[in-house]
Amino acid sequence: MMLHELQTPCLVLDAVRMERNVARLRARVADLGVRLRPHLKTAKSVEVARRVMDSPGGPATVSTLKEATLFAAAGVRDILYAVGIAPGKLAQVLALRAEGVDLMVVLDTVAQAEAVATASRESGAPIPALIEVDCDGHRSGVLPGDADALVAIGQALERGASLRGVLTHAGGSYTARGADALWQCAENERKGVVQAANILRAAGLPCPVVSLGSTPTAHSATDLTGVTEVRAGVFVFFDLVMAGIGVCSIDDIALSVLATVIGHQRGKGWILVDAGWMAMSQDRGTSKQSVNQGYGVVCDIAGRPYSDLIVSDANQEHGIITVRPGSSSLLPDLAIGDRVRILPNHACATGAQHQSYHVVRGADCKVEAEWPRFSGW
């Protein structure tokens, strides 16, 4: 099947760009002497996961227990569930571990640690856990130098569960601009998680895993001394936010939404397509960057960007394509029924709107495969 034969809107994946993106980060991490534990929350696809992980068994990172369950069913055995654990989810964690999956959980309070330890004792099966460290004030976690909290959580875990190590995520890197700022985020991330690991070891507690990662810092770190693994997810596809940060170029973005021209408002300078915010998501991450990409950058059917053409506004099922404000570029002459591809602001959010990837290679419009993806929790 060819792209112009597909029902729209639908998700298109350029396998050439994806493979290049994966090879780039894999080589970088290897040069820094650590392993890559890819975050599969962006892909949510067994076919993509198999092309990103070191082996069919992992390692992998997930953001939902549904992801853990479906990847485990596909043979993945080394999984980190990297969202703070709630007691009500421990039965499902134990069930997956009973099936032979080394599923680890993440926490940052004594209350969580006590719940994990209690469930471990009652089941007779210790659950491994990592303590989350807050390296930049972005979200959750224990401050790197808070020895009292770190040790208390570690000791609570060891009363039945298993302290596997520490983890951090430099989410603040998404607002960094420039190579120096990104490098500093990466170094702060490393220093914070290594400091926490050293505190635990000094207290006589085990800490074999020292895990960090975000796509910006994974591509910016120059020293990972003391770290055992890097986690990143959106690097597989990249998106306009990552391009705006400077981690990739627009030519690296592997994901796009195929849409059909359904109308014109020539007096307003509009082209209407059948991909609105239900197809693109409402993520407007580039609106806070120096270049606002609206709801996405518009390309021709082969994936080549038009000059300064964006989806400037969107309704549920309508996208409004215009020339970027202030640009001297001209609106292309697109007829009713013509196809375009739209590069997303946020690959995770846009991907979540679709059930499969239509796989192409470069500018070739032949669809070589359709890979299922899943959603939900």
At 198-250, the pLDDT tens digits run 999 999 999 999 999 999 999 999 999 999 999 999 999 999 999 999 999 99
Q: Are residues 95 and 221 in the same domain?
A: yes
How much is the pTM?
Answer: 0.95
Q: Are residues 46 and 174 in the same domain?
A: yes
Q: Are residues 201 and 304 in the same domain?
A: no
Q: Are residues 44 and 188 in the same domain?
A: yes
Residues 6+ apart with CB under 8 A from 27: none
Q: Are residues 81 and 109 in the same domain?
A: yes
Residue 106 bridge partners (DSSP):
84, 130
Number of domains in the chain: 2
**Single residue among 205, 232, 259 that ends a domain in this structure:** 232
| CATH code, domain carrying 210 | 3.20.20.10
**Single residue among 192, 207, 232 that ends a domain in this structure:** 232
**Dihedral of the CA atoms 49, 53, 56, 61 (nearest 10)?**
-70
Q: Are residues 108 and 58 in the same domain?
A: yes
In this predicted structure, what is the pLDDT of residue 217?
97
| CATH code, domain carrying 285 | 2.40.37.20
In this predicted structure, what is the pLDDT of residue 184?
96
In this predicted structure, what is the pLDDT of residue 286?
95
| Alpha helices (H) along the chain | 15-31, 46-52, 65-73, 90-98, 110-123, 147-157, 179-202, 215-218, 240-245, 277-280, 347-351
Within-domain flag for 217: yes
d(CA 214, CA 23): 17
Digits of tens for pLDDT over the chain (377 positions)?
A: 999 999 999 999 999 999 999 999 999 999 999 999 999 999 999 999 999 999 999 999 999 999 999 999 999 999 999 999 999 999 999 999 999 999 999 999 999 999 999 999 999 999 999 999 999 998 999 999 999 999 999 999 999 999 999 999 999 999 998 999 999 999 999 999 999 999 999 999 999 999 999 999 999 999 999 999 999 999 999 999 999 999 999 999 999 999 999 999 999 999 999 999 999 999 999 999 999 999 999 999 999 999 999 999 999 999 999 999 999 999 999 999 999 999 999 999 999 999 999 999 999 999 999 999 999 99
Q: Are residues 175 and 225 in the same domain?
A: yes
In Å, the largest CA–CA distance within the chain is 72
With tokens 């491994």, the residue in question is: 128
Within-domain flag for 27: no
Q: Are residues 202 and 349 in the same domain?
A: no
Within-domain flag for 240: no
Within-domain flag for 350: yes
Within-domain flag for 284: yes
With tokens 């990172």, the residue in question is: 61
Q: Are residues 203 and 262 in the same domain?
A: no
Q: How far apart are the first and last CA of the chain?
A: 32
Q: Are residues 140 and 83 in the same domain?
A: yes
Within-domain flag for 295: yes
Half-sphere exposure for 251 (CA within 13 Å, toward CB): 1
In this predicted structure, what is the pLDDT of residue 308?
97
d(CA 284, CA 165): 35
Within-domain flag for 170: yes
In this predicted structure, what is the pLDDT of residue 25?
98
Residues 6+ apart with CB under 8 A from 25: 36, 218, 219, 232, 235
**Single residue among 208, 232, 256 that ends a domain in this structure:** 232
Cα angle value 286/240/354 (rounded, 5°): 105
Q: Are residues 225 and 254 in the same domain?
A: no
Within-domain flag for 30: no
In this predicted structure, what is the pLDDT of residue 119?
98
In this predicted structure, what is the pLDDT of residue 258?
98
**Dihedral of the CA atoms 126, 129, 131, 136 (nearest 10)?**
-170
Q: Are residues 116 and 151 in the same domain?
A: yes
In this predicted structure, what is the pLDDT of residue 364?
96
In this predicted structure, what is the pLDDT of residue 118?
98
Cα angle value 151/157/161 (rounded, 5°): 155
For residue 324, give its domain range.
Answer: 3-10+248-372
